[in-house]
Amino acid sequence: MRILVIDDEKQIRRALQSVLNVRHYDVQLAADGQEGLELATSLTPDLIILDLSLPDMSGMEVCRMLREWYHGPILVLSVLSGDEDKINALDYGADDYLTKPFSTGELLARIRALLRRMQGTDTSSPEMDVDDLHIDFGKREVTVRGELVRLTRTEFDILAVLARNVDRVVTSRMLLEAVWGPEYVSDSQTLRVHVSHLRKKIEMPGDIPRHIVTEPAVGFRLVSHNEAT
């Protein structure tokens, strides 16, 4: 597995290199956006780790340019205060994000999830299991712990988009665009209400939502807990 790290901070590059090398990933390093884009073209890595604050160009711009041809997963690194950048990068096609500082455990878990998705996902599979949820895309049916639940059209559509991106954050904008259409991308209050109704039907009463987790200011993530480590 080849991973390209685009980050302008030398310490972070070296740390990532040693941490990932030990796990037998082949790590290539780029110190700015230009070098990153060049290396991405020549190496075609299996995954790209991209820092959003680069000296020569914005991380979002790199993300947008990569996405013109690169189909592998892009994991962006951002700082706590960079919500806007993070959301933009995700809207431009990044697959997930980590907020600095992060632990090695978190990083490895994200990388594994992204690579697994890349290899194993057949996005056109007609049925899917996420923990105790079973989703039948063809019949538009959902069962929770073996019991059929009635979802409205919108609720099913939201769940379907989240399921197709399981373990990956989906921005509110992406959800609104996929379910309602591009002219509704700012109607996040409506989205929240529908997600709330959806949760009532698929989550355990009296407990916190375990399937659909809110990513503050970004969007939602459908979590699969039986992650193979």
196 touching another protein, by CB under 8 A:
yes
Q: How far is the CB of 208 from another protein (least distance, A)?
A: 4
Coil, helix or strand for 147? strand
Q: How far apart are CA 160 and CA 82, in angstroms?
A: 29
Selected from 147, 181, 207, 228, the binder of another protein by CB under 8 A is 207
Asked if residue 218 lies in contact with residue 171, where contact means CB atoms within 8 angstroms, the answer is yes
Q: How far is the CB of 48 from another protein (least distance, A)?
A: 24
64 touching another protein, by CB under 8 A:
no
192 touching another protein, by CB under 8 A:
yes
- Counting DSSP H helices and E strands in the chain, the numbers are 8, 12
Q: Pick between residue 57 and residue 109 the one whose CB is nearest to another protein.
A: 109
What is the C-alpha R_g of the chain?
18
Residues in region 69-98 near another protein by CB under 8 A: 80-81, 83
Candidates 103, 108, 41, 97; CA nearest to 74 is: 97
Selected from 223, 224, 226, 228, the binder of another protein by CB under 8 A is 223
147 touching another protein, by CB under 8 A:
no
Candidates 9, 99, 1, 92; CA nearest to 47 is: 1
Q: Pick between residue 34 and residue 154 the one whose CB is nearest to another protein.
A: 154
Asked if residue 12 lies in contact with residue 20, where contact means CB atoms within 8 angstroms, the answer is no
Tokens of residue 177, six digits: 């665009």
> Which residues are near another protein by CB under 8 A?
80-81, 83, 101, 103, 105, 188-189, 192-193, 196-197, 199-200, 205-210, 212-217, 221, 223
